[in-house]
Structure 1
Amino acid sequence: MALLFRAYHNALSKYPLPVNMVSSGLLGFGGDAICQYVIERRTHESYDKWRALRFFALPCFFKAPVLSRWLILLERVKGHPKLVPLKKLFLDQTIYAPIFAACVIFNLRLLEGHSPTESKDMLVRDYWSIYKVSIQYWPCVQLINFYVLPLQYRVIFVQLASLLWNTFLSFKTQTKLTDFVEEV
């Protein structure tokens, strides 16, 4: 395990963005797989491979690059060392999180093949129910992130926390509640 961590650390040090992108994509894929196999109880035959690919692509090509830049930008926050993480959390949750959540939901719908207008309508319909859970989950994650972890590990920490979040997001955006209730 130590060898694996050292290899990951070395790759992250040399190629931070590509390593974060691939790691994020794999964790997004994993979150959707958990949702499909564990929560929805799909079989291998009914597993939606295109959906899984969307949950790989969105974190890999959108979430990780944007999050990487945002976390670097937050490093500019100055002040007393015990208060800086709280300032970062405030900025993260008031500026970044609401906009980023909307962008993720909208882009996910575009990747599903919906038109921009349909994607916007679905965003309006789903945003508040998803964002309410977000503001209960992410501040705790980010507080740990900002107080404990060095910058180079913050994207992967967020993406590890996103494994649970992606499972929820997959369930919330991809599962019709009536279908789920009928299966249970």
Structure 2
Amino acid sequence: MASILRSYNRFVLKSPLLAMSLTTGTTMGLGNIISQTVIEKRTIDTVDWGRVARFSAFGYIAAGPFLRYWYYGLEKYFTGVRFKPLKMMITDQLIAAPFINMAFLCYFPLANGKSISEATDRFYKLNFQDYWINIVFDLIAAI
């Protein structure tokens, strides 16, 4: 196990963007498999593999690269400040989390074959009051 971790750490140092993209996409795909099997009570035979691929693709192509540069920027911006982890976490939750969530909410209908107008209609029909309340609770829970 230790050699696997060492290999992964070398890979992250050598190719941080690729490592973050692969890690994010794989984690999103595995998370969707877990969601379908544990929460939706599907068997492995009835898993929607297209949905898994769409979740993974978002991680590989959008979320992974964005998060790589976002966290790199946060590290540089908050160098030498007091309460660095707390300030980084608050900034992340107030800016990046809503951005990634909204990007996902726009991406997924398009990835499911919906038109841009259908995707934007769905996006605007969301109850943003509930959405922002969830963000506040996530932020409080993280602190």
> TM-score scaled to structure 1, two decimals?
0.67
Q: Is the 8 A contact 1:78 1:84 kept in 2?
A: yes
Distance in 1 separating the partners of 2:111 and 2:139: 24
Residues 40/109 of structure 1: CA separation in 2 closer, same or farther (3 Å cut)? same
Tell me which of the two structures has the higher relative contact order, counting C-alpha pairs closer than 8 angstroms and 6 or more residues apart: 1
State the one-letter code of the partner of 2:83: L
Match of 1:70 in 2: 70
Shift of 1:57: 0.4
Q: Is the 8 A contact 1:102 1:127 kept in 2?
A: no
Structure 1: give runs of 5+ residues left out of the alignment. 144-184
Distance in 2 separating the partners of 1:130 and 1:52: 24
Match of 1:85 in 2: 85
Q: Is the 8 A contact 1:32 1:52 kept in 2?
A: yes
Distance in 2 separating the partners of 1:86 and 1:108: 31
Match of 2:134 in 1: 133
Shift of 1:54: 0.4
Q: Is the 8 A contact 1:21 1:59 kept in 2?
A: yes
How many corresponding residue pairs? 142
State the one-letter code of the partner of 2:39: I
Match of 2:94 in 1: 94
Distance in 2 separating the partners of 1:140 and 1:85: 15
Q: What RMSD in Å do the two structures reach over aligned CA positions?
A: 2.3
> TM-score scaled to structure 2, two decimals?
0.84
Structure 2: give runs of 5+ residues left out of the alignment. none
Match of 1:34 in 2: 34
* 2:34 paired with 1:53: no
Q: Deviations over 1:85-109 (max 9, x none)?
A: 3332332233322222111111122
